[in-house]
Amino acid sequence: MAPQAISSLAPCARSKKGHLVVQYDKDAVEAIGLVKMDLLGNRALTVLDDCTKALQARGIRRDGQSIQLQELNEEDPATARSLSEGRTLACFQVESPGMRHLLQQMNARSMDHVIQAVALIRPGPASSGMKDAYIRRARGAEEAHPPHPRLAQALRLTHGVLLYQEDVMVAASLLAGMDLAEADLLRRALQKRREDELPGLRLRFLNGCAEQTIATHDAQRAWELIANFASFGFCKAHAVTYGRIAYRAVWLKTHYPAEYMAAFLSSDTGYYDTRVYVEEARRLGARILGPCVNRSGQQWTVERSRQAREADGLRLPLTQVKGISQRALEALHTARQEGGAFVSLPDLAGRVPLERDELEALVRCGACACFDRTIPELLWRVKLLYAPERRPPADLDLRAGWRGAGIGLGRAPLEPGDSVTLFPEPAPATLALPRLPDYNRIERGRVEHELLGVSIEAHPTELFPCAAELKAEREGRTLRPAIACADVRRFAGARIAIRGWLAASRSTPAADGRTMKFLTLEDSSGLAEVVVFPDIYARDAAQLAAGGVMRVVGVVDERYGSCTLQAERIE
């Protein structure tokens, strides 16, 4: 933006798409006085919008009014419980293991707490020790000590901790007497590590502190703290915006889990695999409904239960089925819209140009269960539908041998050397297909996991064996009983075993340069976080690489209200 034509202030050009662009880079644009703004696309906004539209379509209202996210109670008790317990999976900005632990440690209960958590998780507060100090002070373990007494009032809401980039500006103003414009230049230089500017700014800050009668050692300590923090601090406006979005996501998930999870799963985003979010929806009470050629939409949808006591259902879209082309999916939806529901497997195959392997995939994952046949019976029909036809030649008269006198050869229209069937075959009887039993629960679950990436009725820990358990069974040994993942926090300080599916892992270098791992294991009860230190990782890396269901034995470490399992053995 400029008070006159921008082309008179900077060289301009047309981009490939025809937009007018300035030929300076972002730093030069600001250097000549133009305003630069970063406009971000955020899928979380789409999730919130889709969820609220779904609620409006159902006619859901609170206090007689439709849901207005801008007017939410920022200290809602139910949402407070979700935050303080770290039950924020699938929620923007607050679903990672680190953020869920931080919310528990902070005992977060309001939108303001979420905003502060968004800023605290940044490298600046974490690396400077401010995050741990904030947690201790928030929990009443120590008193608030601002970097200087003059900052006590300004940092009152953050327990004396520099939390936002704006706090740097306030500190520079109150300690060194800088006006806010000069303090903003200091903040930018520190943030972008402009080494050529820092010596002069440091001198200006120290001289300003001296003019404000602040002791030299206090001024130097304040400078070191500010300089270390400002490089990685978070803009408060950014933190507030992200925190508000995060809080609204947690609020919607808490109060309307089915609609929220449907909107979230349709967004195809998130920290974890789809399967983890499906299991979270199940834990929240939603019934998981498999894909259906007659009922599945283009995205995840909520189906209302016809029985009052039955929970809402979350229907998988056909896009979740592996091996189905986009062309086939579009043709299927078009055929259903134009011709109505499919009444049988031949009807589906006749109206939609499906390859045999595509139709088999739909059958195997249960998407054709609406035809009231077992999966093996439907697979027989697929085989027949795609079998090569065996029809007699069009010019052959199977009744020729019964014409004329005698046995019919006298008048048969044959050339010398030709022959004809003397007795025609009777008309074929109606084909009777065998009645076959359906897949059992384990077979069905494994096929669903293969084709859908999720299991409809059973958690993967119920479907797949654990290598350690199979080995113990062969050797006649008894393993330590496994604790449910969600119950780990009840065993602080104890040695326990957990059994779960590997939901996520992250590698990081330890202090000695060797690799350590952070794992997230999951079972039907919830998630558990595991720390694998270098010695254990070096020894048990093979078991970890195998993935799937695994057992971990270790000691539960409790820190400020959150718990992790420090692994001693991976089985």
* CATH code assigned at 497: 2.40.50.140
Q: Is 421 among the domain residues?
A: no
Examine the fold and report which residue of 183, 213, 241 is the final residue of a domain before the chain moves on: 241
Q: Are residues 538 and 553 in the same domain?
A: yes
Q: Are residues 52 and 27 in the same domain?
A: no
User: For residue range 379-392, what is the model confidence (pLDDT) as tens digits?
Assistant: 999 998 888 754 44
Give the model's confidence band at 234: pLDDT under 50 very low, under 70 low, under 90 confident, else very high.
confident
Say which range, 65-69, 300-304, 356-360, has the weakest mean pLDDT: 65-69
Q: Are residues 87 and 227 in the same domain?
A: yes
Question: Does residue 564 register a pLDDT over 90?
Answer: yes
What is the SS3 assignment for 138?
helix
What is the SS3 assignment for 504?
strand
Q: Is 273 among the domain residues?
A: no
Sign of CA dihedral 221, 226, 227, 233: positive
Q: Which domain holds residue 11?
A: 1-37
Q: Are residues 530 and 553 in the same domain?
A: yes
Query: Which candidate, 337, 346, 323, places its Cα nearest to that of 294?
Result: 337
- Quote the percentage of the chain above a pLDDT of 90: 67
Helix, strand, coil shares, percent, the chain, to 5? 45, 15, 40
pLDDT mean over 527-532: 97
pLDDT of amino acid 344: 94
Examine the fold and report which residue of 241, 273, 296 is the final residue of a domain before the chain moves on: 241
Q: Is 393 among the domain residues?
A: no
* Number of domains into which the chain is organized: 4
Q: Is 499 among the domain residues?
A: yes
User: For residue range 423-465, what is the model confidence (pLDDT) as tens digits?
Assistant: 666 665 566 678 899 999 999 999 999 999 999 988 999 999 8
Question: Does residue 401 register a pLDDT over 50?
Answer: no
Query: Which candidate, 284, 293, 291, places its Cα nearest to that of 264?
Result: 284
Q: Are residues 128 and 223 in the same domain?
A: yes
Question: Measuring CA to CA, how many Å separate 54 from each of 13, 48, 63?
Answer: 44, 10, 18
Is residue 564 within a helix (H) or strand (E), and if so which, with residue range? strand 562-570
Q: Is 392 among the domain residues?
A: no
CA 407 to CA 47: how far, in whole Å? 80
Query: Cα angle vertex 212, ends 207, 215, to 5°?
Result: 75
Phi, psi of 94 (to 5 degrees): -125, 25
Q: Are residues 352 and 231 in the same domain?
A: no
Q: Which long-range contacts does 506-513 make (Cβ < 8 Å, 24+ apart)?
A: 510/534
Mean pLDDT of the chain: 89
Bridge-based pairing of strands 562-570 and 526-532 is: parallel
Give the model's confidence band at 398: pLDDT under 50 very low, under 70 low, under 90 confident, else very high.
very low
Residues in the chain: 571
Q: Are residues 454 and 498 in the same domain?
A: no
Give the model's confidence band at 493: pLDDT under 50 very low, under 70 low, under 90 confident, else very high.
very high
Q: Are residues 202 and 328 in the same domain?
A: no
Q: Where are the beta strands (DSSP E) in 94-177?
A: none
User: For residue range 15-26, what is the model confidence (pLDDT) as tens digits?
Assistant: 988 998 999 998
Q: What is the DSSP code (8-state) at residue 113?
A: H
Q: Is 377 among the domain residues?
A: yes
Question: Does residue 399 register a pLDDT over 80?
Answer: no
Q: Is 423 among the domain residues?
A: no
pLDDT of amino acid 411: 47
Examine the fold and report which residue of 423, 458, 493 is the final residue of a domain before the chain moves on: 458
CA 136 to CA 106: how far, in whole Å? 9
Q: Is 63 among the domain residues?
A: yes
For every residue of 512-532, DSSP letters joined together read: TS-EEEEEEEEETTEEEEEEE
pLDDT of amino acid 395: 46
Compute and round to an integer the Cα radius of gyration of the chain.
Answer: 34
Sign of CA dihedral 87, 89, 91, 92: positive
User: For residue range 138-164, what is the model confidence (pLDDT) as tens digits?
Assistant: 998 999 988 899 999 999 989 998 889
pLDDT of amino acid 396: 38
Q: Are residues 5 and 112 in the same domain?
A: no
Query: Cα angle vertex 265, ends 332, 544, to 5°?
Result: 110
Tokens 């059992």, residue? 440
Residue 341: give its domain's CATH number: 1.10.150
CA 242 to CA 247: how far, in whole Å? 9
Q: Are residues 231 and 110 in the same domain?
A: yes
Q: Are residues 236 and 302 in the same domain?
A: no
Question: Does residue 7 register a pLDDT over 80?
Answer: yes
Q: Are residues 56 and 146 in the same domain?
A: yes
- Quote the percentage of the chain above a pLDDT of 70: 91
pLDDT mean over 477-491: 95
Question: Measuring CA to CA, how many Å separate 32 from each of 3, 11, 125, 195, 279?
Answer: 13, 12, 32, 20, 53
